[in-house]
Amino acid sequence: MDGKAIERRVQILEIALQLFAEQGYHRTKISDIVREAGVAQGTFYWYFKSKEAIALEIIESGQTELLKVVSQGYRQSGGTIQDAVKASEKLFGDLFLFSEKNKSLIELLLRGIETEDSVQQAIIKTRQQLEKAFQKNIERAIELGILPEKDSALQSALLMSLVEGILSKWLFDSDSEHLKSKTAGELAREVVRFEFFGLLGI
């Protein structure tokens, strides 16, 4: 596939994602996507087998990108609590920045869409994988002696709920003006303060 074809394919993906987030999966027709992209319907089918196929690709590629952001928080060596706090602030800052730049994707993942079972399962899997990534980070910090022994599965579930709640209000709740005025860095510091001094009890 040449550069122009790759660019066109990415454009169709981006437009489909935006329309799914704005209108919902069932309300979005392939004709809507191709009209917005300025291409013929045959061009869509050249790149994608179906609307379900493009939705699955959107979710799966989004999962890859999200996990890439979180995996950067994996610790390779020990350190102090202060080192761990700084590393977590960077991780959540990066996560919130990614979410701010990819609002349509985050809206699909957090709010879900009424869609095919395969796409719903992909959304659920993405959220589960993100929670497992948080758990892996916590377990690694315990192994390195940075954190005390805790129930990492419960901690990661609570942390996931906290992050989802903050993202939902920060990005999509028009009544949360105070929260919406916060930067990604400010939110990250608040999450980490709770993570270490509330959730983890340090």
Alpha-carbon distance 120 to 138, whole Å? 28
Q: Which of 26, 48, 70 is the last residue of a domain?
A: 48
Domain total for the chain?
A: 2
Same domain, 56 and 138: yes
Residues 79 and 17 in one domain: no
DSSP string, 1-55: --HHHHHHHHHHHHHHHHHHHHH-TTT--HHHHHHHHT--HHHHHHH-S-HHHHH
Show the tokens assigned to 198: 């509330």
Same domain flag for 17 and 98? no
Do both 149 and 57 map to the same domain?
yes
Residues 141 and 195 in one domain: yes
Which of 20-29, 109-118, 145-154, 157-166 comes out lowest in average pLDDT? 109-118
Q: Nearest-5° angle of CA 17, CA 22, CA 24?
A: 80
The residues, ordered by sequence, that sit 6+ positions from 100 with a Cβ below 8 Å of its Cβ are: 171, 184
Average pLDDT over residues 19-39: 93
What confidence tier does 37 reach under pLDDT thresholds 50, 70, 90?
very high
Question: Which tens digit of pLDDT belongs to each residue from 79-131?
Answer: 677 777 788 888 899 999 999 999 999 998 887 777 788 989 999 999 999 99
Residue 137 banded pLDDT, cuts 50, 70, 90: confident
Residues 58 and 24 in one domain: no
Q: pTM of the predicted model, to two decimals?
A: 0.86
Three-class DSSP category at 122? helix
Residues 23 and 63 in one domain: no
Q: Which domain holds residue 148?
A: 52-199
31 and 66, same domain (yes or no): no
Q: What is the mean pLDDT of residues 166-173?
A: 91
Q: Same domain, yes or no, for 162 and 185?
A: yes
Segment 179-192, tens digit of pLDDT: 888 999 999 998 88
Assess whether 174 and 194 both reside in one domain: yes
What CATH number corresponds to the domain at position 30?
1.10.10.60
Look over the chain and give the mean of its residue pLDDT values, rounded to a whole number.
87
Q: Could you tell me the two tokens for 149?
A: 């022994």
pLDDT of amino acid 74: 57
Residues 32 and 106 both lie in one domain? no
Residue 103: the pLDDT is 94
The CATH number for 69's domain is 1.10.357.10
pLDDT at residue 73 is higher than 70:
no
Residues 87 and 24 in one domain: no
Span between the terminal Cα atoms of the chain, in Å: 53
Owner of token pair 């395969």: 118
